[in-house]
Amino acid sequence: MMRTRPLKVALLGCGVVGSEVARIMTTHADDLAARIGAPVELAGVAVRRPDKVREGIDPALVTTDATALVKRGDLDIVVEVIGGIEPARTLITTAFEHGASVVSANKALLAQDGAALHAAAEQNGRDLYYEAAVAGAIPLIRPLRESLAGDKVNRVLGIVNGTTNFILDKMDTTGAGYQEALDEATALGYAEADPTADVEGFDAAAKAAILAGIAFHTRVRLDDVHREGMTEVTAADFASAKEMGCTIKLLAICERAEDGASVTARVHPAMIPLSHPLASVRGAYNAVFVESDASGQLMFYGPGAGGAPTASAVLGDLVAVGRNRLGGTTGPGESAYAALPVSSMGEVVTRYHISLDVADKPGVLAQVATVFAEHGVSIDTVRQQGKDGEASLVVVTHRASDAALGGTVEALRKLDTVRGVASIMRVEGE
């Protein structure tokens, strides 16, 4: 039966995502009401620039005072799509204190302060939902939190940043320059307000922290995630990858250690074979593999960024939270009971592709191979190319720990015959 009193929703932020949330709330109002069991009323919209024309939004609802809006006391749900840490954090906490549930797309904030926000939601008997915070439209948070709650997740691996996938894809397939591709991703609404968050891997690391936390029932914060961005990936790296039958993607990888006693989370560019499904993830699409004991391997794929896809996830949360409000209940909160330690990058085990500039003279190859052996890193293949008395040596290793590889590279740099380490790239997905 439809309740006549509407659920009151406040929208904080009306940018790329917020404007799409408002649009769909209006155009799909009847369906949303039928699905929730009560009409949804847009009760206020907090913006920074009040003079901007916002099609479909009643100017009387627009305010620059987000704090006063969340303190109104009659709101059922606050949708936070401002981004950043403050004032978003205070606004969300204030919304809980004044009786509202919260839907947010803010991965940066959740990765930094998720535990405190969950606690505030629980203390006030309200919901905190954030499907849009990871991989845009792709349902990932709810499947991990709910559908897989009876299984044991061992690994989450994937492409979780649309902007960098868009850039790397363009560099690989059209030879476009980095800046040109980044400008296009920004114009399309994929990039963060400060795109450094995308290209330096902070955004993907925040998402990795959120995914690892839910997957392993353990608190994982942004600082626990090893992070390398993609700004140093060059056309030469793509050429090396092609020679190996690979391409390069910025990956987020969260793993449970083999003994189950700890977990790791990392973000870095990696070579993956062209035959791997992640290699064909194009543009701003995301794809995430989840491996669990009983389910085996699951793949989640779809648009990972952009206004409308992200709004889809926000509205899905809005419906879920709205139903909870009507039912006088809340959904699952934070689950961190396992409290596993998060190990450092040194303990991660994977394969490596290393490109060295060396002197082209007898004995160099043996010298280099000895350094690898001394550090317990086993070589899979070596390829050498001569160029005017100098040579380039491409070594691909078997699986080794990051610590062992680090020690190897340090020792290689000390060899007189090694002129430089041109690139080191991890090889995943084999």
Ligand X SMILES: N[C@@H](CC=O)C(=O)O
Ligand Y SMILES: NC(=O)C1=CN([C@@H]2O[C@H](COP(=O)(O)OP(=O)(O)OC[C@H]3O[C@@H](n4cnc5c(N)ncnc54)[C@H](O)[C@@H]3O)[C@@H](O)[C@H]2O)C=CC1
Which residues make up each annotated binding site for NADP(+)? 12-19
The reply on whether position 267 binds ligand X by CB under 6 A is no
Q: Which stretch binds ligand X (CB under 6 A): 92-100, 156-164, 342-350, 362-370?
A: 156-164
Q: Which of 291, 401, 422 is nearest to 355 (CA)?
A: 422
Residues tagged in the binding site annotation for NADPH: 107
Catalytic, out of 8, 152, 170, 207 = 207
Say which amino acid occupies 13. G
Distance from CA of residue 149 to its chain's centroid?
Answer: 21
- State which residue, 81 or 100, has the beta carbon closest to ligand Y: 81
The reply on whether position 269 binds ligand X by CB under 6 A is no
Instruction: Lay out the sheet containing 128-129: strands in order across.
Output: 62-63, 40-46, 7-12, 77-80, 101-104, 128-129
Residues 149-208 that bind Na ion (CB under 5 A): none
Q: Which residues form the interface with ligand Y (CB under 6 A)?
A: 12-18, 46-49, 66, 81-83, 87, 105-107, 132, 136, 189-190, 192-193, 305-306, 310
| Residue 84: CB atoms within 10 Å | 15
CA distance 133 to 136: 7
- State which residue, 48 or 399, has the beta carbon closest to ligand Y: 48
128 binds, among ligand Y, ligand X, Na ion, none (CB under 5 to 8 A by kind): none
With residue 386 as reference, give the H or E element that holds it.
strand 379-387
Q: In this structure, are residues 280 and 273 in contact, taking their beta carbons and an 8 Å threshold?
A: no
The reply on whether position 317 binds Na ion by CB under 5 A is no
Is 152 annotated as catalytic? no
161 binds, among ligand X, Na ion, ligand Y, none (CB under 5 to 8 A by kind): ligand X
Q: In this structure, are residues 287 and 300 in contact, taking their beta carbons and an 8 Å threshold?
A: yes
CA distance 311 to 305: 10
82 binds, among Na ion, ligand Y, ligand X, none (CB under 5 to 8 A by kind): ligand Y
Residues 126-145 that bind Na ion (CB under 5 A): 131, 135, 138, 140
Binding mask 108-137 for ligand X (x = CB under 6 A): ----------------------------x-
Determine the length of the chain. Answer: 430
CA distance 116 to 339: 16
Binding mask 161-180 for ligand X (x = CB under 6 A): xxx-----------------
DSSP letter for 27, please.
H
In the set 191, 248, 400, 409, which binds ligand X (CB under 6 A)?
191
131 binds, among ligand Y, Na ion, ligand X, none (CB under 5 to 8 A by kind): Na ion
Q: In this structure, are residues 255 and 212 in contact, taking their beta carbons and an 8 Å threshold?
A: no
CA distance 129 to 126: 10
Binding site for Na ion (CB under 5 A): 131, 135, 138, 140, 313
Catalytic center residues: 207
